């Protein structure tokens, strides 16, 4: 990766009205919109994209469609593909199948195994198994303890980096602990190791930048991608007052989108703007009250001039 993608949008997945298939036309239009509005990276079939309910063929389809869109742009756009599961062998097979096509992602976002709470040694073995079949494609750790039930520790990341080298690209750190982040950037400073930390929580992006993060893998960038990208650039340029002003302006939108489980509200917002049909796959469900909340979020943006 020649340049670090500062804003990687975790894309929602547009479905047909009955929810039985991916709406390819709307997905292409969504990707184009995101690239034109602040995203220099796209994450497909993650949690926001309802990845757990997508078939393997649908995941392959999303990678192909995103590649087609990206190739039409002169500026580089990073394509990241989400991999999740708590059965290492099944995850390995999923990676092999996803890579069994001409169009490959630029990196794989691999979640720390959830529910069964592996030890740190078990996590290392899991990620090494994935790396062994990933054909050299960079791997990003998805560290999200509030969903997985367990966190990968900084020294575990350092051990993995020592073993995998440049194939371990970095981490999406979805953990509010600034102490945990400080430990990661102390052991794996970007300037020395090339290990990239992306904030996994939109509202924590600015404080994470102060502790060594380089960008965000974002949900709210569906709505405020330009502003989010501008905040990161302002911070990097030493314009901290401007970055803080943008943080304060964006915070209501960032917080509002997570009043209920993601991706319900962001999908409702994108549906009201015509980018997707308001259909989700169970157990996710978009209810009337969620549509009302989405309307409030979009109206709030107009008030804040975002």
Catalytic residue positions? Answer: 142, 172
Query: What's the farthest any 2 CA atoms get from each other in the chain?
Result: 50
- Distance between CA 263 and CA 284 in Å, rounded? 8
> Could you tell me which residues come within 8 angstroms of residue 125 by beta carbon, excluding any fewer than 6 positions away?
88
The full 3-state SS of 146-167, as one line of letters, equals HHHCCCCCHHHHHHHHHHHHHH
Which residues sit opposite 140 in a β-bridge?
109, 170
Helices (H), the chain: 24-36, 56-70, 88-98, 120-133, 145-148, 154-164, 178-187, 190-193, 205-210, 221-236, 240-256, 264-272, 288-304
User: Which residue's structure tokens are 């509202």?
Assistant: 203
Please measure the distance between the N-terminal and C-terminal CA atoms of the chain and give it in whole angstroms. Answer: 30
- Distance between CA 199 and CA 218 in Å, rounded? 8
């Amino acid at each position: 990766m020649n340049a670090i993608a500062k804003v990687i949008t975790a894309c929602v997945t547009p479905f047909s009205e009955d929810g039985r298939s991916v709406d390819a036309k709307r997905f292409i239009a969504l990707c184009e919109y995101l690239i034109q509005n602040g995203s220099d990276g796209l994450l497909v079939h993650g949690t926001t994209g309802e990845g757990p309910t997508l078939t393997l063929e649908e995941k392959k389809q999303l990678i192909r469609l995103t590649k087609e869109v990206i190739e039409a742009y002169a500026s580089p756009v990073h394509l990241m593909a989400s991999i999740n599961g708590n059965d290492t062998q099944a995850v390995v097979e999923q990676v092999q199948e996803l890579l069994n096509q001409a169009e490959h992602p630029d990196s794989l976002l691999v979640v720390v195994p959830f529910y069964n709470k592996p030890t740190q040694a078990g996590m290392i073995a899991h990620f090494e198994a994935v790396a062994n079949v990933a054909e050299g494609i960079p791997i990003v750790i998805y560290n999200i303890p509030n969903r997985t039930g367990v966190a990968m520790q900084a020294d575990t990341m350092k051990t993995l980096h020592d073993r995998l080298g440049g194939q371990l690209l970095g981490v999406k750190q979805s953990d509010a602990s600034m102490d945990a982040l400080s430990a990661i950037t102390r052991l794996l400073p970007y300037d020395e190791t090339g290990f990239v930390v992306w904030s996994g929580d939109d509202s924590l992006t600015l404080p994470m930048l102060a502790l060594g993060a380089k960008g965000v893998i974002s949900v709210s960038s569906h709505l405020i991608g330009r502003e989010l990208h501008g905040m990161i650039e302002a911070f990097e340029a030493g314009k901290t007052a401007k970055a803080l002003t943008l943080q304060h302006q964006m915070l209501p939108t960032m917080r509002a989108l997570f009043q209920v489980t993601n991706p319900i509200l962001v999908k409702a917002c994108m549906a009201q703007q015509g980018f997707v049909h308001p259909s989700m796959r169970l157990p996710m469900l978009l209810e009337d009250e969620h549509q009302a909340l989405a309307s409030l979020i979009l109206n709030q943006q107009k008030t804040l001039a975002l």
